[in-house]
Amino acid sequence: MYLGLDLGTSEIKAVVIDDQGRLLASAGEPLEVSRPHPHHAEQDPQEWWQATQRVISSLRSKLPQRWSEVSAIGLSGQMHGAVLLSREGRVLRPAILWNDTRSAAECAQLTQSAPQLHQVAGNLAMPGFTAPKLLWVARHEPEIFEQTATVLLPKDYLRWMMSGEKVSDMSDAAGTLWLDVAKRDWSDNLLAACGLTRDHMPRLAEGSDVSATLKNDIARAWGLRDDVVIAGGGGDNAASAVGIGAVDPGDAFISLGTSGVLFAVNDRFRPNPQSAVHAFCHALPDRWHQMSVMLTAASALRWYCNLVGSNETTLLAEITQLNPSQQRQAPLFLPYLSGERTPHNDPYATGAFHGMTHTTDRAALGYAVLEGVAFGMADGRDVMQQAGTQLQQCSLVGGGARSDRWAQLMSDALNLPVVTHSGGEAGGALGAARLGWLAAGGDFRDVCRKPPVAQHFYPDAQTRDMLAERLKTWRQLYQQQVDLRNA
C-alpha cells in the first residue's frame, strides 16, 4: 500500500491506496492560519507535525490488519512557504505562507537586483513566492536571517521530521524563484540576489524518485517497517495533476481549494511571466506546466459561510434554488480577499460585493461568490490562451469539486467541458500516494492513469451568454478599484 500526505493551508489530508490504485482510506485534520498583521499569513510548523501524527493515527485505526503493508510515502503540500531552520534544526519563526502579501517592496528589489529572474525562474516576482519572503526577513528581522541555515518548503519540513533528510522536488522548488526551471537546478545567481547560497537549500529530487527513508523511531511509532521509502513528491497542484492523470501535454484541470488553479501540462519550459502566468516543473521528469493562480477560491465560500452563519451544504442548496432571472440580478463579487496573482499580480486588490439592494438575500450573495471565483478562472483561461495554451476540456478537483452547481458554473463561465472524477476531492493526497507508488517501482502508465469520470458538465448557451455580459462589468469593477487606489 502507498500513503499520500497533502499539507494544505486549511487541512492536512492523507490517503492510502493499494497496488491497484484503489482508495482504501482517507483522513484529515484542520489547520488554522494566523494573521497577526495586515497582509501577514503564518502557521507554526510544529502544528503541521502534530496534525500529521493525528492523521497517521486515524488511518492506522481504519486499516488495522493491513497497515504494515505501507511500503512508500508521497508528499504534497502548499507551495512557496518559508520554514527557516537554524544550524541545530530549530524553527526560527512561524512559517510565512503562500498567501502572505507583506513582501511587495521586496519583489521590486529582487526584480531590480536579478535582471535574469524572469528568463531563469519563468515567473514574475510576486509576494507569494519564497524568495521575496527571505528578503523581507533580511530587512525586518535581520537577527533571524543571520541564524537561518536552511530554508525548507512546507511539505519538505514534514519530510525532514520523518526522515532527517532535507530534500525538495522540482515542482515545489520551481515556486521559490531560486530554481533554474529549464535546467531543473538551483540558480546560484538568483540565490545570491537574496543573500543565500546552495548551502541554504535542500538537495533536489524528481517527484517520482526515492528522496529518503522513514527514520527508525518514526517507523516504530507509526507501526511501519523501517524500509519505507519517501518519494520526492510535489507541490500541491503538480501532485493533484498526478492524482487526476494530468501527465501528458494537453491535459488540464481546475483545482478549487483554498486557492484556485488552472493547470495545463507542457512538454517543455514555456514561460510567459508578463501576464502573471506561472511556468513550473511538473512533479514528473521531463515535464513542465503552465498555471494561472487566484489566491482565493473555495476559501471565499468558507469565509462567506462564516460571515452569515451558514454551512456550505445548506448554502449550496439555497443557491441551487435560484432561477436564471435571480442569477442575472445577483450582485457581483470580487474574490480578492488575499490580493490576486493571475492576471493582475496585485497584492493590494481587495474583495467587494457590488449591486446589493433591499431584495438581496443570502443565496444571491452566495451565488455571487461562486460566480466571482469562476470569473477569476476565466481571467486565467484568457491569459493562458495568450501564452499559447489551448484548452479543450478540464477536470475539476479539490473541495469545490463536490459541488455540481459550481462545476456547471465553471463550465459556463469558461465555455469549456468540465469533468469530475471519483475521488477527485482527494486532490494532492492521491497524487502524493501515486508518487510514492512510482518511487516504490510502480509502472508509470499503471500508476498515472486517469480516474473514472463521475460527471460531465457542458456549457449552457444561454447561461454562457449571460455570464459573458456580467464578466465585462466584473472586470470594470476591478479596474475602478485600481483607478481609485491610484487617484
Transcribe 254-292 into DSSP letters.
EEESSSEEEEEEESS---BGGGTBEEEE-SSTT-EEEEE
80 is in an annotated binding site: yes
| CA separation for the pair 480, 362 (Å, rounded) | 26
- Answer yes or no: are the C-beta atoms of 212 and 230 closer than 8 Å: yes
Nearest CA among 300, 425, 287 for reference residue 353: 300
- 32: exposed, middle or buried (Cβ count in 10 Å: 0-12, 13-18, 19+): exposed
Residue 188 falls in the annotated catalytic set: no
Three-state SS at 38: coil
Three-state SS at 211: strand
- Answer yes or no: are the C-beta atoms of 110 and 124 closer than 8 Å: no
- Answer yes or no: are the C-beta atoms of 178 and 201 closer than 8 Å: yes
Instruction: Copy the grid coordinates of residue 475.
Output: 472586470
- Residue whose C-alpha cell reads 525538495 in the numeric block: 168
Can you say how many angstroms the Cα of residue 80 is from the centroid of all Cα atoms in its chain? 9
Instruction: Decide the pairing of beta strands 210-213 and 229-231.
Output: antiparallel
Instruction: Decide the pairing of beta strands 11-17 and 252-256.
Output: unpaired
Instruction: Copy the grid coordinates of residue 65.
Output: 490488519
Instruction: Copy the grid coordinates of residue 170.
Output: 522540482
Query: CA torsion 262→169→341→397, rounded to 10°?
Result: 30
- In this structure, is the dihedral angle defined by the CA atoms of residues 319, 409, 278 and 106, taken in order, positive or negative? negative
Amino acid at 410: M
Start-to-end CA span in the chain (Å): 59
- Residue whose C-alpha cell reads 481571467 in the numeric block: 379
Return the bridge partners of 397, or none. 255
Helices 130-140 and 104-113 sit at what angle, rounded to 10 degrees? 100
Backbone conformation region of residue 185, classed left if phi is above 0, alpha if psi is from -120 to 50, else beta: beta
- In this structure, is the dihedral angle defined by the CA atoms of residues 35, 41, 45 and 51, taken in order, positive or negative? positive
79 is in an annotated binding site: yes
Which residue of the set 236, 251, 346, 412 is catalytic? Answer: 236
Summarize the annotated binding site for substrate as residue ranges.
79-80
**Active-site residues: which are they?**
236
Summarize the annotated binding site as residue ranges.
79-80
